[in-house]
Amino acid sequence: MNDHTYAVLEFDGLLQLISDQAQSAAGAAIIRRTRPQTALTEIQRRRGLYADMIALRNSPLDIPSLRCEDLDDILREVAPQGAVIGGDELVACRSLLDNSADVHAFVSRKECLPYEHLRRSAAGIDPCTPLRDALHRSLDHDGSVLDAASDTLRDLRRRAMALEQRIQRLLDTMVRSSEQADALQEKFVTTRNGRFVIPVKREARNALPGIVHDLSNSGQTLFVEPNATLPWGNDLVAARAAERDEVRRILAALSARVREQLSAIQLNQRILAELDAANAVARWAIQNHCVLPSFGGYLLLKDARHPLLLAQFRKEQRESSVVPLDFELPRGKKILAITGSNTGGKTVALKTIGLLVLAAQSGFPVPAGPDSLFTVFDQVLADIGDEQSIEASLSTFSAHINNISGILNTAKQGRSLILLDELGSGTDPVEGGAIACGILGELARCQALTIATTHLGLVKNFVHSHADMINGAVRFDVNTLKPEYRLDVGRPGASHALLIARRLGLPPAVLKAAEDMLSHDHLRLEDVLSRMEADQRKISSHAEKIKDAQEDLTQKRDALKAELDDLRKERKRLLHDAHQQASALVDNTRREMENLVRSLREQAKRAQTTTAKTPPPPDTDALRQALSDKAQRLQRGLQISSEQPPARPLPKRQLAPGKKVWIEKLHTHGVIEGFFDDGAKVALDVNGVTFTMRTADLESPREADSPPAAPVVKVTQPRVSGNTPSEINLVGQRVEEAIDQLENFLNRSLMARLDQIRVVHGFGTGRLRNGIHTWLRTQPAVTAFRLGKDNADPGGAGCTIVTLRR
């Protein structure tokens, strides 16, 4: 890198644009000193800090002020031992410490944990809290020393104020007195040389004894301090002197404390300036829709825009007029020769590429698309513009050759970017073309990535005949005679010189003479290039339309996917709500059934107290009927099911283009467009978007108003039998299954008015037995239970005897 490259690519202009976003002069200075780096680690460090700042500015967090006053002169002044700085200088130091403390507190918040580069950059900040507190306690915003700075200062100021008030009151009395009316020039009290005085007429000098401290301009008024206030005036002067000494002592003490923290303050200033510079970069990047540069093995630019053109067009309120540039060389190509019309945008393309490379290697975000890719060059060398120098007696051609000679001598093997504008110009076209070809050959030998602009046909042919070189052209609208600023790599460009001259009014006779002097092959080549350019424009236009259509289809597809996701979520929610309602209904019904059973048992008990042989009262049959009705209502009332409706696959013979089908995977209808893979797959139009599905996944169309099949909750109505057994065998069952069977058995036993039942669970591990016992303890209908006895009960301890409540 060299200053010449920075100048011709206007790198300093870019730095100025970015530095204008800084809050402080120190931050702006850091940006203006920025230079591209050749070490990827340093580039990535800068890039990381800029990335954090961009993310912060796009977040809801409020970034504290990063304003950093330049304290270098103040800190140099206070550095010597015993040096004292003024209150306003101390306030400047306090302001820096305040901002440092705010930034330190901000980066310590948990919300800032993701911003690793920012936290690392701010890690060295020292808020110097004791010093900052002392400065706040001692100094007002304008640098004056506050009474709270010391008890002595407070006492001296109170004494001085009391003396002033006493003198003021006495002099006010004298001014209002009728005895002094004739002697006074005017009735007011003022000060001269720090003493309180009253205006006395010159001719009445002896009427008021005292000391004259001043005369009016006319000499007719004397400003006299009366003898009556002289002692108090002397005391006031002494108090003010003591106050000044105390203020100087306080400023000296504060200056000494600043001197003790000199290194910390200097570090804080440097860190705040760096953060301010990074914040300025972030503000500029967001304003210009920049992306952070990515680095790889080659240079690829998508939608690249020249930063200075962006700024200029924004001022003119036509930012959208900036045409983005795409640049990519085919694999194996190292040299690009850009040809085309004058004022065709070739130099703008050259400068855009060069400036963005410099910006990326500085770590700056770049105004380009996210797919852009950069590589790290050791050198960026440029020969652009009119290099002539009158002072050095150099013509345009000589200046170009002198500069290019330096480039050839310094270009590094495979690590240089060379930008050459109007290569071979400024001299005889044949000799200039030959020299240009020689330069390109040498640059190809050292593997330098080279981009050159030229008008010379000899260079176009030379580039076309070399495998590592390629021609390119910037599009030119022959109808409007304006450049389109779009770079096409792979074809040379026509100069359009005769066409432009004709459009600009050059006489026909001159044009005819010029055409007669040109060879037929040259004219034919220009015509071919013009037609190629027109064809390229048509292809690009079609490509843009295809891209727009693809984007439209993508948006429709995404919208459909989002709609399907919403429908699935809504369906899931409805099923969940329905299951909740079903569960609640089942719970309510179970409670009602238990109440019916309890009522039945109580009626049976009352009947037995009347007579042991009396059959169950008629009310029992009514209760049983009520229980049956409840179960039937439950069966009818539940409208929810987790079962899906049965699929209705369509036979292949019923499938044909244009047929409407149901797509279960998408939960919607579609129309068949065509078949492939021997009919195994089908293309479907779903609301304007084409989907590919297996033929086996297609079903018959569903009616628009047919609701999904209602889930069925099966309810088993307990049956009451006159010969209900008193024993249930649960051996081999899992605990959950056994409890379900035991619950039904218990209900039947209660309805049969059994006093005791026998539950066979076996021995085993005891898990089934323990589970049954735990459940029995929760049943209000169970009054007691015990394990069977080996001698008294069949099955012994392998069964449990349960006593039921009557």
Are the C-beta atoms of 493 and 473 separated by less than 8 Å?
yes
Q: Are 167 and 236 in contact (CB under 8 A)?
A: yes
Binding residue per annotation — 416?
no
Report the 10 Å Cβ neighbour count for 502. Answer: 14
341 in Cβ contact with 493 (< 8 Å):
yes
Query: Which two tokens mark 477?
Result: 């609208």
Q: How many angstroms separate the CA atoms of 225 and 448, rounded?
A: 90
Angle ∠(154,160,162) on CA atoms, nearest 5: 100
Cβ-in-10-Å burial (0-12, 13-18, 19+) of 307 comes to buried
Q: Pick from 133, 121, 72: which is nearest to 262 by CA?
A: 72
- Nearby residues of 521 by Cβ (< 8 Å), 6 or more positions away: none
Q: Which two tokens stand for residue 243?
A: 């106050």
Residue 19 assigned ligand-binding role: no
344 is in an annotated binding site: yes
What phi and psi values does residue 734 have, to the nearest 5 degrees? -75, 155
User: What's the one-letter identity of residue 491?
Assistant: R
Angle 718-719-725 (CA atoms, 0-180°, nearest 5)? 110
CB neighbours of 108 closer than 8 A, spacing ≥ 6?
A: none
Residue 343, annotated as binding a ligand: yes
Coil, helix or strand at residue 451:
strand
DSSP string, 266-294: HHHHHHHHHHHHHHHHHHHHHHTT-B---
**SS3 state at 738:** helix
Long-range contacts of 669-678 (CB under 8 A, 24+ apart): 669/701, 669/702
- 345 annotated as a binding-site residue: yes
In three-state secondary structure terms, 191 is strand
Q: Which amino acid appears at position 441 of this protein? A: G
Q: Which residues touch 254 (CB under 8 Å, ≥6 apart)?
A: 90, 134, 135, 138, 139
Among 63, 52, 65, 55, which Cα is nearest to 24's? Answer: 65
75 φ, ψ to 5°? -70, -35
- Any idea which residue has 């996210």 for tokens? 370
**294 close to 372: Cβ distance less than 8 angstroms:** yes
Annotated binding site for ATP: 340-347
Annotated binding site: 340-347
